[in-house]
Amino acid sequence: MNASQENHLSTKEFISRKQFLKAASLLTVGAVSGVTAACQSTGQSPSYPVPTRSSFDTPTGQKISTSPPYSPPAEVPTDVSQPIELEVWKSDVDRKSAPTPTPLPLNQRIGYAVVGLGHLSLDEILPALSSCKRSRVAALVSGNVDKMRKVAQQYGVKESSCYTYQTYDQLKDNPEVQIIYIVLPNSMHAEYTIRGAQAGKHILCEKPMANSSAECQAMIDACQKANRKLMIAYRIHYEPFNQYIRKKIQANEYGKPKFVDAFNCQSSANPRHWRHIKALAGGGALPDIGLYCLNTTRFLLGEEPIEVSAYVYSDPENPLFSEVEEVCSWQMKFPSGVMVNCATHYNVHDSRKYRVMTERGWYELDNAYAYTGQKLTTSRADGEIVRQETVSIVPKNQFAAEMDYFSQCVQDNRAPYSSGEEGLQDQRIMEAIYQSARQNRPVKLPLIEKKDAFRGPIPPELQA
Ligand code: NAD
């Protein structure tokens, strides 16, 4: 029997595991070679073949053992968004497998134009788009035509859907593009967001949102005027470990949060790269990676700081940091009394971690802001013992999760959680941090009493 003769079952014909076991038990397990006939829809429980040993003749006349083709029962919902359920084989002693992926047919996915083909686009965003459920790459924008042609071939983008910065506005005539993803140096986020909204497209913009709060406000205004959605790419909001910790903290599971210690540090090179040029980057370690400590803390606590106190330093001998800061350390005071200590550095080996200390325990996340490799430890007292636990969660591709979330916002006409106002609030706080460092004094921020004041509706994964 060849593959085409395999016993396929239509949607209506699938049988349950119980039926399968019953049917299988009626068959004699023996050394019968071959399989029974293909399963037909007879209205009765189909008879399933007992897979037994069989043999196959190779072109050189050798007999090798094989197994007859056979499809175990699977539940195949007609709704394309529901996962196929395969026959269970693992016991519930082990962690439950995630449901099988449910990618929508390509023509039902939201088309993205990816603008800027640098490290983030090539290393993460384009590969992630290939594994999305609701999103697909539909267009590219780059100043390097050779690079764009190659990337277009790699990801199956039509030549007619490749644009330069000069032809960018022509995206308005491309109905396959609904969302523009801005992955450019920070100084270009405002212009390309505004032009993109004017072209009638929704905008996903990389962090930091822009280089000043005035630019952020202009981006929000332009998207509102064009009636287009604007989301800032805070992937941590869609990352399962950080989501888990936020839910625990919001539920005060180990008592109220009291103190947070957070740092995000890495090492940079190449003084000519835009990240070391103030006009392009807006700043150094703070807006690039320190922003994760700031935004994630606000996300976990759900409240806004009322005061910041900061210190900034650059080694005067190091040409990398002649324009932007090498290190920034800052403290934030929150209305509930939570104190937060943050640091970011551009000249040390990778270190990305936070610990949230609560009345009766703590949560510590290592590799907290990394693309992969999160390690969560929790601690709490339990009578005479202290319980320290390692929590393991099935990881998700953060970029795919973030893009699919935004695609769903567009499909369902919902406001995104990681809104433009959220990006603007981070920018205001970073401006206060720089002011504090410059003036060597604490800087007060307006009291915001509302919880999660700047974010859109809470996604299902974050609900209690
Ligand atoms: P990159 O330097 O690797 O790529 C930037 C690309 O922008 C370049 O390749 C080029 O194609 C284009 N570009 C257009 N005009 C340019 C100019 N004047 N100078 C330099 N490049 C120009 O940068 P990246 O690491 O891909 O970062 C792009 C954006 O993504 C930044 O805003 C950054 O903060 C953000 N980012 C976010 C994450 C995340 O995890 N969300 C990670 C890395 C970067």
pLDDT in tens, 48-74: 566 567 889 999 999 999 888 888 889
Ligand 1: residue whose CA is nearest its atom 6: 118
Element containing residue 411 per DSSP (H, E) = helix 398-412
Catalytic hit among 292, 354, 369, 417: 292
Instruction: Please check whether residue 300 is in contact with residue 249, taking contact to mean a CB–CB distance below 8 angstroms.
Output: yes
Q: Is a pLDDT exceeding 90 seen at residue 11?
A: no
Catalytic hit among 133, 207, 248, 396: 207
Ligand 1 centre distance from Cα of residue 144 (Å) = 14
- The model carries a pTM of 0.89
Tell me how far apart the terminal alpha carbons of the chain are, to the nearest angstrom: 52
Q: Tokens for 207?
A: 């962090």
Q: Where are the alpha helices (DSSP H) in 226-341?
A: 240-250, 278-281, 285, 291-301
CB neighbours of 427 closer than 8 A, spacing ≥ 6? 208, 209, 210, 212, 213, 216
Which backbone phi and psi does 114 adopt, to 5 degrees?
-95, 120
234 included as an active-site residue: no
Ligand 1 centre distance from Cα of residue 49 (Å) = 56
292 included as an active-site residue: yes
Q: Tokens for 402?
A: 């973030």
Residue 121 CA: which ligand 1 atom is closest?
Answer: 26
Ligand 1: residue whose CA is nearest its atom 38: 120
* pLDDT at residue 50, as a whole number: 63
Classify residue 38 by its DSSP letter: P
Which 3 state secondary structure label does DSSP give 127? helix
Q: Is a pLDDT exceeding 70 seen at residue 36?
A: no
What does the pLDDT average to over 1-8?
A: 36
Q: Mutual orientation of helices 240-250 and 291-301 as an angle, nearest 10°?
A: 40
Residue 165 CA: which ligand 1 atom is closest?
Answer: 14
* pLDDT at residue 67, as a whole number: 83
pLDDT in tens, 158-180: 999 999 999 999 999 999 999 99
Backbone CA torsion sign across 272, 277, 279, 281: positive
Q: Tokens for 339?
A: 């104190």
Instruction: Please check whether residue 109 is in contact with residue 132, taking contact to mean a CB–CB distance below 8 angstroms.
Output: yes
Instruction: Please check whether residue 434 is in contact with residue 313, taking contact to mean a CB–CB distance below 8 angstroms.
Output: no
Q: If you compute the radius of gyration of the chain from its CA atoms, what whole number of angstroms results?
A: 27
Euclidean distance between CA atoms 176 and 158, whole angstroms: 11
Euclidean distance between CA atoms 386 and 360, whole angstroms: 11
Mutate to test the pocket of ligand 1, among 114, 115, 117, 119 (most ligand atoms within 8 A of CB): 119
Ligand 1 centre distance from Cα of residue 183 (Å) = 5
Q: Tokens for 373?
A: 């490799």
- Ligand 1 contacts (CB < 6 A) are 116-121, 142-143, 183-186, 206-207, 233, 235, 274, 288
What does the pLDDT average to over 351-375?
A: 98
